[in-house]
Amino acid sequence: MPAVSFYLPEGTLKELRAEARARKTSVSRLIRTAVEKHLDAETRKKAKGELTRLLGAADLGGWDEVHAERTRESDDRS
């Protein structure tokens, strides 16, 4: 895995080291996990926005049509 170096304020690094000790892991693993979670959250946020946009653009019919279709589907499940 390639290495990346960057600078942190002394206080932040001190907190990270304390957290790493508490979790019995390394500072680099804490940072890697945080970055991965952030990127995953951003991906999900974009996907949710795209789904919302597509649903808004879709012609799903009016309430009466949707309700009638759901009622028919429920009747067919018996």
Are 30 and 20 in contact by the 8 Å Cβ rule? The answer is: yes
Q: Is the pLDDT of residue 74 over 80?
A: no
Confirm whether 3 is domain-assigned: no
Are 17 and 27 in contact by the 8 Å Cβ rule? The answer is: yes
Comparison of pLDDT for 4 and 78, the residue scoring more = 4
| Number of structural domains in the chain | 1
Confirm whether 2 is domain-assigned: no
pLDDT in tens, 9-20: 999 999 999 999
- φ, ψ of residue 76 to 5 degrees: the values are -75, -15
pLDDT in tens, 33-58: 999 999 999 999 999 999 999 988 88
Confirm whether 69 is domain-assigned: yes
Confirm whether 1 is domain-assigned: no
> Average pLDDT in the 58-64 region?
83
Owning domain of residue 22: 10-76
Which H or E run includes 40?
A: helix 27-57
Token reading at 76: 């067919």
